Amino acid sequence: MKTIISMLLLLSFAVKAQNIPYEKLDSISAAINQNQLKVVGLPFGDKKNRNYIDFPENNFKINYSNGKVTRSSIIKGENSSTVSLYEDVDLSKATSVDDFEFPGNVGIVSVYFPKGIIEQTYQNGKLTNSENAYFLLFYFNRYEDGSLKLLLDQLQGMFKTLKLALNIPAALYSINQKAEPLTIDNIIDKHIEALGGAEKVASQNSLITQGILTINGNQIPVKSWVLHNQGMRMDMEIQGRNNITATTPNRSWTLYPTQRQRKPVNADPAVAKESAEELDLTGDLFNYKIKGNTVELLNKEKVDGKEIYIIKVTRKSGTIVKMFIDTGTFLVSKTVMNKIVEGKVTEMTQHFNNYKKTKEGYVYASSSQLEPAGLNLIYSNIEFNAPIDPQIFENP
């Protein structure tokens, strides 16, 4: 009899949930899930205890069978990662919705449960605690116009669809959204996170690429090898002959049969110095203080319809690089710097497009354009941390 009653109860839950189309529940779940991902990387907490908010890719889900929800979030510190997981939360048991005051750029809206819900806590991947919590948290960007209203509208829409008695208090819509603006270090931290995180960036030891270089309508097969801070080389197949450019920390050389070079030719010392600065696979912003670089946030403006942070990097050598970082993705959209071209100082702009991620988690731009040279490079294959013989950077 107990078994039959249990089955009937389960059936009643299913019938109740099926009054709401699956597509509707899935749409609500997806919308809230995607909205929460927008605050990934924002500072969370005061300046002395600064952490960053993060989420798994699927952080919110309404279960079709019973209308209950699953919720997860991550708080990342310098050397820690704490996951909070709530499963099978019955929103009909919640009694109120309010704001949750906390310092930082992350705003919080809380759904309160007087009798509590179970929160499972995982520290660095291991279950460390399971206890009663009295609220379910949802996040918004205090510094972004419309972020709070979008979240509140989504929650109210969910309550209405699930036929709950919960309502969003009108006062919540007037929460003071002003917060400290992102500092230059906040922006750099989010940029590093967008590249896969500090550990992933620091692990880059080598890079091998293959692709097609287009110039003046001509397509040239190219292959390049880079060893972090040791050397780089690019081979270009032109008219059936291999043309080589190579750089080490001490010298650069070329061997261009198409320019009637029969033996390697050393580059001008100034050009060699410029080229050697590009051997750092981790980039100008990663550990910039340790490298002796200085950075300055010049502006935030719209470029080609997108909001961009413009950062001025002054390398230890004195070389100045302007980096344009997308405020949405925190990836570099272009860089501007002076280069010596045919003996003259020329402002060069390099655009970076079509970012992709390898199966190992390395993020890279799969195409780039260099102006005013009119070069367009599209990668067909890219490989991180494959073995490279340093001898390929020496004269053949």
pLDDT tens, residue by residue, 138-191: 999 887 878 899 999 999 999 999 999 899 998 888 776 555 567 899 899 999
Which residues in the chain are classed under CATH 2.50.20.10? 188-393
Q: Which of 173-182, 288-297, 366-375 bottoms out in mean pLDDT, i.e. has the lowest?
A: 173-182
CATH homologous superfamily, domain 188-393: Lipoprotein localisation LolA/LolB/LppX (2.50.20.10)
How many angstroms separate the CA atoms of 51 and 41, rounded? 9
The highest-confidence range among 102-106, 176-180, 285-289, 297-301, by mean pLDDT, is: 285-289
How many angstroms separate the CA atoms of 3 and 107, rounded? 46
Is it the case that residue 95 has pLDDT exceeding 50?
Answer: yes
Band (pLDDT 50/70/90 cuts) for residue 233 is very high
User: What is the pLDDT, as a whole number, of residue 5?
Assistant: 39
Contact yes or no for 119/84 (Cβ under 8 A): yes
Kindly report the pTM of this predicted structure.
0.60
Average pLDDT over residues 240-252: 91
Return the structure tokens found at 17.
């949930």
Q: Which of 26-30, 88-92, 338-342 bottoms out in mean pLDDT, i.e. has the lowest?
A: 338-342
Average pLDDT over residues 89-116: 89
Band (pLDDT 50/70/90 cuts) for residue 7 is very low
Q: Shortest CA distance to 91 belongs to which of 59, 60, 64, 68?
A: 68
Average pLDDT over residues 115-131: 91
User: What is the pLDDT, as a whole number, of residue 104?
Assistant: 73
Q: pLDDT tens for residues 301-348?
A: 877 777 899 999 999 999 999 999 998 889 999 999 988 776 778 888
Contact yes or no for 188/301 (Cβ under 8 A): no
User: What is the pLDDT, as a whole number, of residue 259?
Assistant: 84
Is it the case that residue 284 has pLDDT exceeding 90?
Answer: yes
Average pLDDT over residues 8-15: 36
User: What is the pLDDT, as a whole number, of residue 60?
Assistant: 96
